[in-house]
Structure 1
Amino acid sequence: MQLTRQAKISYFKPAWADEFPLWAGFSTRNGGVSRPPFNSLNLGLHTDDAAYNVEGNRSTLCRAFDIAPQNLLTVHQVHGSDILVIDEPNRDLSHFLTLDSDAIITNQPRAMLGILVADCYPVLFWHPHAAVIAAAHVGWRGAAGGIIGKTLQALAELFGAAAEKLYCAVGPGISAAHYEVDRTVKDAFAQSGCRWEEIAREKTFGRWRLDLRHCCRLQLERAGVPANRISGCDEYCTYANRELFFSYRRDNGQTGRQMGFIMIK
């Protein structure tokens, strides 16, 4: 995945993005107006940052990709497995802000889907033949609850978008080196489709380091997405790379949010 710039926005672009008529990527924390500890491109309205700063940052993002602010679609993410589907034109997508959901699917052009994160993983989906996109928010609860598999199932059932023809991107998130979890998390993964031994290493008794990035990849591949169609950002960690990313764990919750985004032009 390549770090690139569009106007004032620096973002990581999936390897496959330039092949198709779409915008897709993962923003960094740079290029906005928010002050510490939310400096500077905080895109999360649910943080303690001043709302006018966040709205200004969102406007900067929208201008960079030549869309109106009402064409940016974000939802109220709750670490669940509900999916919002937009399959008809909608003049103002901002009214979905308070809707509880952790994945979004649309076949509508000029609708930018946004997933807000600060350690969790944003996952993007694109099916060129069905001309449909999706974005999912994957924390440990979402991974254990099957949000990736449910998104893939909805894409196939509603749009005929078979997994083997999809292109996906797993954005930057917290690495296993900085993600320590307990038995509650281990037990939640019993039905996740991943063996715990594949995605976690025991640190001390009752404590593990969870590789959520690897879990996302495994779930995509085992659902039929070809490994060579999954673009990753594996060399980066939201916790470790302070100059690039917000991190909820590192900053004890007082931090901003970056965004995984995708839009059909």
Structure 2
Amino acid sequence: MKTTMYINNEKFIAGMTMKDKAEPELNNMALHVCKDPEKVLQNRRELAADLNIQVKDFVCANQTHSANFHKVTLNDAGKGSYRLETAVEETDALYTHEPNVLLTSFSADCVPLLFFHEESGLIGAIHSGWQGTVKEITLKLFEHLKQEEGCTPGSFHVQIGAALSQEKFEVDEDVYLKFKNLGYAEEFMYFNEQTGKYHIDNQLAVKRQCELAGIPAEQIEIDRTCTYMSPAGFSYRQDRKSGRHMSFIMKKIGQ
């Protein structure tokens, strides 16, 4: 199974599954876009085995491009892991203090963001497509964690996963104006006079939101793999029927 491992230390493990011709449905991890749910579960079981956990330890959300987030407790373990109907409803970000619970995010061009807080051990996963970025889900969650969970921003470490590159993320003026109205994303966009389209770097816009929350730039890593151009990428823009990557993070037991 192709997996990009971003973090694997004594406290945390985090990564992103990639497209893999050797796996069922090319290693699709999403039940909401699949031909055969059992094949997706087979892929999830293989990932779980690699992580020394079980699929019942996954927590999955029904992502709706919202700015909603959910604090995961042990009672949430297994939600959405075997069946779509049990997923956390209308949520695009998950966070928890609990160990051995795998927080997940599904994407095929959208920006996945994984993070941990060194001091408190809190972890989280965010799904930020362009709608989530415009709604500032990342900034809103980090502000919530600072205010409600007592997290100091300097202790966050962030990994932004593979996503659609600026070259391939072309939009019309309506989407460009939504980003422009944020007031801090102008430098992450350019206009292509030949096509009449705007190009947006959603990864850097999300990174800026992290910085606005007070997270040091040197503690934010970005995987610049383009999900459209890479053979290991699932791209909704390229193929409306594409599978999905699973980005994941877990706090190891005993930490």
Distance 1:18 1:33, change over 3 A: closer
Output the amino acid matched with 1:246.
Answer: F
| CA distance in 2: counterparts of 1:110 and 1:190, whole angstroms | 40
Q: Secondary structure at the match of 2:174?
A: helix
Is residue 86 of structure 2 the alignment partner of residue 90 of structure 1?
no
Output the amino acid matched with 1:256.
Answer: G
Q: Are the aligned partners of 2:59 and 2:76 in contact in 1 as well (CA < 8 Å)?
A: no
| CA distance in 2: counterparts of 1:18 and 1:247, whole angstroms | 26
The worse-fitting range, judged by mean Cα deviation, of 121-130 and 184-193 is 184-193
Q: Are the aligned partners of 1:105 and 1:155 in contact in 2 as well (CA < 8 Å)?
A: no
Distance 1:207 1:11, change over 3 A: same
Is residue 45 of structure 2 the alignment partner of residue 45 of structure 1?
no
For residue 12 of structure 1, report the CA deviation from its aligned partner: 2.0
Q: Which residue of the partner structure matches residue 83 of structure 2?
A: none
| CA distance in 2: counterparts of 1:79 and 1:193, whole angstroms | 21
Distance 1:199 1:66, change over 3 A: same
| CA distance in 1: counterparts of 2:66 and 2:227, whole angstroms | 22
Match of 1:201 among 185, 190, 196: 190
Is residue 119 of structure 2 the alignment partner of residue 129 of structure 1?
yes
Distance 1:200 1:91, change over 3 A: closer
Q: Secondary structure at the match of 2:65?
A: coil
Q: Are the aligned partners of 1:119 and 1:246 in contact in 2 as well (CA < 8 Å)?
A: yes
Q: Are the aligned partners of 2:109 and 2:227 in contact in 1 as well (CA < 8 Å)?
A: yes
Q: Render the CA deviation track for 1:146-170: whole Å, top value 9, x for unaligned.
A: 0110110122123211221100000
Q: Which residue of the partner structure matches residue 165 of structure 2?
A: 175
The worse-fitting range, judged by mean Cα deviation, of 165-174 and 186-195 is 186-195
For residue 55 of structure 1, report the CA deviation from its aligned partner: 1.1
Q: Which residue of the partner structure matches residue 67 of structure 2?
A: 81
Q: Which residue of the partner structure matches residue 6 of structure 1?
A: none
| CA distance in 2: counterparts of 1:67 and 1:223, whole angstroms | 33
Alignment of 1:45-194 (within 5 A): 45-86=31-72, 88-90=73-75, 92-94=77-79, 96-97=86-87, 99-194=89-184
Q: Render the CA deviation track for 1:25-77: whole Å, top value 9, x for unaligned.
A: 1111127632xxxx411001011421111111111111111112111111011
| CA distance in 2: counterparts of 1:191 and 1:104, whole angstroms | 27
| CA distance in 2: counterparts of 1:209 and 1:189, whole angstroms | 11
Q: Which residue of the partner structure matches residue 245 of structure 2?
A: 258
Q: Secondary structure at the match of 1:176?
A: coil
For residue 264 of structure 1, report the CA deviation from its aligned partner: 0.4
Q: Are the aligned partners of 1:180 and 1:208 in contact in 2 as well (CA < 8 Å)?
A: yes
Identity across matched positions, percent: 28
Output the amino acid matched with 1:140.
Answer: W
For residue 183 of structure 1, report the CA deviation from its aligned partner: 1.5
| CA distance in 2: counterparts of 1:162 and 1:98, whole angstroms | 27
For residue 237 of structure 1, report the CA deviation from its aligned partner: 0.5
RMSD: 1.8
| CA distance in 2: counterparts of 1:85 and 1:92, whole angstroms | 12
Q: Render the CA deviation track for 1:195-232: whole Å, top value 9, x for unaligned.
A: 32x11100137520111111111111222111111111
Q: Secondary structure at the match of 1:213?
A: helix
**Where does structure 2 lack aligned partners over 5 or more consecutive residues?**
81-85
TM-score under structure 1 length normalisation = 0.87
Count of residue correspondences: 246
The worse-fitting range, judged by mean Cα deviation, of 105-114 and 201-210 is 201-210
Q: Which residue of the partner structure matches residue 11 of structure 1?
A: 3
Q: Are the aligned partners of 1:32 and 1:60 in contact in 2 as well (CA < 8 Å)?
A: no
TM-score under structure 2 length normalisation = 0.90
Q: Are the aligned partners of 1:132 and 1:159 in contact in 2 as well (CA < 8 Å)?
A: no
Q: Are the aligned partners of 1:32 and 1:42 in contact in 2 as well (CA < 8 Å)?
A: no
Q: Which residue of the partner structure matches residue 218 of structure 1?
A: 208
